[in-house]
Structure 1
Amino acid sequence: MRVLAALSGGVDSAVAAARAVDAGHDVVGVHMALSRSRAQLRTGSRGCCSIEDAGDARRAADVLGIPYYVWDLSERFEDTVVADFLSEYEAGRTPNPCVRCNEHIKFDALLDKALALGFDAVATGHYASATAGPDGAPVLRRAADRAKDQSYVLAVMGPERLARAIFPLGGVASKDEVRAEAAARGLSVSAKPDSYDICFVADGDTRGFLRDRLGSRPGEVVDADGTVLGTHDGAYGFTVGQRKGLQLGRPAADGKPRYVLAIEPVQNRVVVGGAEALEVGALEARDAVWFGDAPVDWTACLLQVRAHGAAVPVRARATAGGGLEVRVDGSLRGVAAGQSAVLYGGPDGDVVLGQGTVERTERAGVVAGEAGVGEVDGVGADGVGAARAGARA
């Protein structure tokens, strides 16, 4: 096959490309330039897409003896991933930019361009496994190294694009194995630090990035009864479940920690309260993507709502509007609208069943009998929190 290997400049993508070459594929390497400031250098393990990364990718391609190109996708990245990040936070939701990057850049813009140029597939250094099911349909599974598994951020790609993806690192036992292989192959990136946090916020100051882009918007921090406890510089700088950085002037009456329960962007308020109010009993998600038939009836499965969070037992089903709804049977806390909800199944709970973007949540103990997700306790589609037990202030 003709395979386009996405070379980020890191050790994972370099080894993935090497394995694609070993498999006998006709491989071409490409580095995606996603930053508009190409002079920007990464800070240790923070950030990516710098000139340093492009140079590391080129050297890896030279060692592997494959052609190498740089594709400027910075405008597309800014218009989709960064713009979505800003608009979601502004609306009181909590987006995952890695999910959106995989959706709009790596398995949309990159893959579409690769197919147009005659390539059969794209290979990346993601830790996940893509196999064919009994009926030949593509199946997305967790990586062998569960600590590095990235199937959560890949679930948004769907079965059609999965069929055009190769993940050579899905079966490796650990990142140490990848680094050792890179060193044995003479790849200079073998000891390069992993990048983490948000790639386009290289200094790690997400709130500062949002403030620079969205401006200062002072408002109130209130409790569930509407009592003003403090102020903030922008409701967009908070997320449901957050405990640190609330800057409240006085402790709670019971002495227990307080957490963000809801963000109300219209009123520019942040609602805080006790941890018990964060327990989620049900949720709705929009824009569902299914691997296989969408379940019409309630189906027992596992739900994961964070990239490296624990999966909890739930029952889920598709909705008529193209979304999905979930009832939580385990313990799930602090879910925010905008997060990606990924469903897993199979005997080992490692097969991705579907994915959606959280739209609404309902507190545990509020779900009545077998009724669907109705009145919501959290951040709704309009971005207005309904976390208060009593009247709104």
Structure 2
Amino acid sequence: MKRVIIGLSGGVDSSVAAYLLKEQGYEVIGLFMKNWHDDSVTISDECPWLEDSNDAMLVADKLGIPFQTVDLSEQYKERIVDYMFSEYEKGRTPNPDVLCNREIKFDVFMDIAMELGADYVATGHYCRKGTLVRGGKEIYQLLSGVDGNKDQSYFLCQLSQAQLAKALFPIGHLTKPQVRDIAKAQDLITAEKRDSQGLCFIGKVKLPEFLQQQLKPKEGVIVEVDDSLSVYNTPRPEFGSKLQLLEFLSKKPEYNLSDGKVVGKHQGAHYFTKGQRKGLAVGGTKEPLFVIDTDVDENIIYTGQGKNHPGLLRNVLFVSENELHWIREDLSLKEGETMEVFARIRYRQPLQKATLHKVETGLYVEFNEMQSAITEGQFVAWYHGEELLGSGIIS
């Protein structure tokens, strides 16, 4: 019997994953990860770990599998929370869920599982794993979940071959309604439980209040930039090479205070992110204001009216070499090579046609269509059909 250690979160997905593994004849052990202690920053009772760990324990009891709690809050603070603070401070917008999978669930947690003699680690993610044999060597594939509404492959876009080798995703071939039906049929306490939202393991937080633990409020101005600004309407220069064109298109405009009018005040540019609409508290505009850029050095937020403001739209982004990651290392591009792919810059975004261009310093991702709010610090992930091939942090 192969031993599988499953991260039981107290939700319906991991509960059903544990049940299915047991049905398949694995020896299953449930582990609940306690990664956060400070409930003062969570909104209401959105993700109280106590209730979750209790539900996880009741599910384990119902399934007749051993259960224990592991406290990973120290590693979570170091690797996720501190990283978040430092990224926001730089004016970038991190994705803690992607990092949480790479750094916590499939690293720290996986190490603990292996020490407990596990052959595999399982989670309740909506994605699938494939295996190919090339030149006598097994290569693992990360495939999107069958349920298009719930596909979570994007959140696992930073996994390595070594991590995938030991991973199991028991519910990836099911839809959410099917998962709930199985939970009901097995009388699991989590069958009707709502999905948790917000930060991985912390729950729903008031982000400014959460960030204020380390990033102090600092009053600054909100500037509205008109879509007639010359930078948006300057004819494109002629370029001697495709590379020069890509470099030009990947650069965001540089704004100055004189490029618009002051329309309000804010409590810290580092609390805001590109594309954000809520929290600006500025009224009286024909169309809603969206953040088009933040300047954390000068503490200025630049905004524009409407979701089609030219300050929000670009079709090329860059990933620097040290932030580039291939799940399929055998398909990684060499300098000068290109690849046609489908890509997304955020979870749940429909896949977009794009071309990858490998250069010495990293990788350009050129989309066929304009993309809204390409945000530094977020992840771009690229696919071939159902398979996620690689990802990178947007520079």
TM-score (norm 1): 0.84
What is the alpha-carbon distance in structure 2 between the residues aligned to residue 42 and residue 169 of structure 1? Answer: 29
Counterpart check, 1:211 vs 2:245: no
Deviates more, 1:102-111 or 1:17-26: 17-26
Deviates more, 1:180-189 or 1:162-171: 180-189
Amino acid at match of 2:333: P
Counterpart check, 1:82 vs 2:84: no
Counterpart in 2 of 1:26? 27
Counterpart check, 1:265 vs 2:296: yes
Counterpart check, 1:152 vs 2:154: yes
Q: 1:295 aligns with which of 333, 340, 343?
A: 333
What is the alpha-carbon distance in structure 1 between the residues aligned to residue 357 and residue 129 of structure 2? Answer: 24
Matched-pair contact (CA < 8 Å) for 2:42–2:202: no
Within 5 Å, give how 1:13-92 maps onto structure 2: 13-37=14-38, 43=44, 46-48=46-48, 50-92=49-91
Counterpart in 1 of 2:354? 314
What is the alpha-carbon distance in structure 1 between the residues aligned to residue 296 and residue 160 of structure 2? Answer: 32
What is the alpha-carbon distance in structure 2 between the residues aligned to residue 333 and residue 38 of structure 1? Answer: 34
Counterpart in 2 of 1:143? 145
Counterpart check, 1:230 vs 2:264: yes
Counterpart in 1 of 2:118? 119
Matched-pair contact (CA < 8 Å) for 2:41–2:205: no
Within 5 Å, give how 1:318-337 maps onto structure 2: 318-321=358-361, 323-337=362-376
Deviations 1:39-73 (A, max 9, x none): 999845x225x111111111111111111111100
Unmatched runs of 5 consecutive residues or more in structure 1: 360-393
Deviates more, 1:175-184 or 1:220-229: 220-229
SS at match of 1:213: coil
Matched-pair contact (CA < 8 Å) for 1:10–1:194: yes
What is the alpha-carbon distance in structure 2 between the residues aligned to residue 162 and residue 128 of structure 1? Answer: 12
Matched-pair contact (CA < 8 Å) for 1:95–1:339: yes
1:28 is displaced (CA, Å) by 1.0
Deviates more, 1:111-120 or 1:144-153: 111-120
Query: Measured at CA, do residues 133 and 263 of structure 1 come closer, stay the same or move farther in structure 2, by a change above 3 Å?
Result: same
SS at match of 2:190: helix
Counterpart check, 1:353 vs 2:362: no
Counterpart in 2 of 1:385? none
What is the alpha-carbon distance in structure 2 between the residues aligned to residue 153 and residue 240 of structure 1? Answer: 20
Amino acid at match of 1:264: D
1:279 is displaced (CA, Å) by 1.1
Query: Measured at CA, do residues 113 and 317 of structure 1 come closer, stay the same or move farther in structure 2, by a change above 3 Å?
Result: farther
1:212 is displaced (CA, Å) by 4.0
SS at match of 1:191: coil
What is the alpha-carbon distance in structure 1 between the residues aligned to residue 90 and residue 47 of structure 2? Answer: 25
Counterpart in 2 of 1:338? 377
Amino acid at match of 2:295: E
Deviates more, 1:239-248 or 1:62-71: 239-248
TM-score (norm 2): 0.83
What is the alpha-carbon distance in structure 1 between the residues aligned to residue 143 and residue 343 of structure 2? Answer: 14
Structure 1 vs Structure 2: percent identity of aligned residues? 35
Amino acid at match of 2:349: G
SS at match of 1:313: strand
Amino acid at match of 1:305: I
1:134 is displaced (CA, Å) by 4.4
Counterpart check, 1:195 vs 2:214: no
Matched-pair contact (CA < 8 Å) for 2:120–2:167: yes
What is the alpha-carbon distance in structure 2 between the residues aligned to residue 83 and residue 313 of structure 1? Answer: 34
1:298 is displaced (CA, Å) by 1.4
1:37 is displaced (CA, Å) by 4.1
What is the alpha-carbon distance in structure 1 between the residues aligned to residue 164 and residue 195 of structure 2? Answer: 25
